[in-house]
Amino acid sequence: MKTLVKWFLYFMAICIVLALIISLGLFVLGIGLIVWAVKIHLKNKQIGVRSKAPAMISVLGVLIFFSQFYVNSVVFKEDTVPVAGEEQKTSTSAQTTQVATIEEPKSESEPVKEEPANVEAAASVATPTPKVKVEKEVPKQATVKGINGIVTRVVDGDTIEVKLSDTGKVEDIRMILVDTPETKHPRLGVQPFGKEASKFTTDQLSGKNVVLEKDLTERDKYGRVLAYVWVDGVNFNKRLIEQGYARLAVYQPDVKHLDEFRAAQTKAQKTGKGIWSIEDYVLEDGYNTPEKKKEVAKKEEPKAAVSKVEEKPKDRGSCNIKGNQSGIYHVPGGQYYEVTKAEEMFCSTAEAEAAGYRASKK
């Protein structure tokens, strides 16, 4: 029984020593050998026995103890050499994460390329740079609820033909909330920026996969499907306004994106992009061309005298200076005075300028 207990204690001691060696390393092993040697020496001294074993064990323990310093120095060097590579890996990983988590595609600006930190140190590292797995970016258009299709033809700036994926049928699509200048109108002909708008739509949409997002009205009076066109995660209707190729055209009840479209138009108007670069060109119901002027003149001719009286506010006397949506005021006798729809009436030019309007050049 005592023998069994003795071997059990030996086994436990060996397990403890192994655990200490694994966790604390050569330091513990060296100290353990030195302690063991001291115990053997004391025991031999008590019984009067001389032996070289304690001295040899002590020397071995000391060597193992100090060898830990060498091992630590080697490991430290190995850990510190690839720091530059780790920085490069971290920088690359950050760039990858940034690309994979973008929700809205960028419209005009180019993506900023970040240079990995400590490039020279990274290049000197012999170990190969680990390959970073780039997750495939999910286009935003996949989250837009609508009908998928492929653009087969561009009619003009705001009208396209799309082959629907679900039925295979080709439909004429009229974009909602936008109106680009005409290029094929039988009466109005080619209007300024009409060809530019048509070319822009052709370049951006021809042959592209798109998602058609509908509003409340299914079709217009010509049988065309009314929709917001999404391509590569971008609302193309809105982009036409942002680039100055279209004006905001509101037809109730299809006003789902009205607020953001109006903000985009205000920005384009302030910067003078496209159609906004021509003074008094954009009207509430179309574009101010010679054909449009004739059309307006014919409509107003029978009631010219009446309309003049109606344009003047009854309670403001001679306050007949018109301020339009472009931020320009027109005085009686001006070239565009009669065809301008007044957003606001002023009694004097000083009052109009104080309200932020500027004088018409014609």
Secondary element (H or E) of residue 179? strand 178-179
Contact between 282 and 340 (Cβ < 8 Å): no
CA distance 223 to 161: 13
Whether 182 is catalytic is: yes
Which is nearest to 84 in space by CA: 36, 111, 122, 40?
A: 122
Q: Which two structure tokens, joined as six digits, stand for 201?
A: 């739509």
Contact between 61 and 31 (Cβ < 8 Å): yes
Contact between 52 and 59 (Cβ < 8 Å): no
What burial class does residue 103 get, using C-beta atoms within 10 Å of its C-beta: 0-12 exposed, 13-18 middle, 19+ buried? exposed
Q: Which two structure tokens, joined as six digits, stand for 252?
A: 């109730």
Q: Which of 86, 153, 161, 224 is catalytic?
A: 224
CB-based burial, 59-98: b 16+ in 10 Å, e otherwise: eebeebbeebeeeeeeeeeeeeebebbebbbebbeebeee
What burial class does residue 342 get, using C-beta atoms within 10 Å of its C-beta: 0-12 exposed, 13-18 middle, 19+ buried? middle
- DSSP calls for 200-219: HHHHHHTT-EEEEE--S--B
Helix spans in 163-283 (H): 194-205, 236-242, 258-271
Look at the block and give the residue holding tokens 């595609």: 105
Secondary element (H or E) of residue 161? strand 159-164
CA distance 4 to 254: 92
Contact between 64 and 30 (Cβ < 8 Å): yes
Cite the active site residues. 174, 182, 224
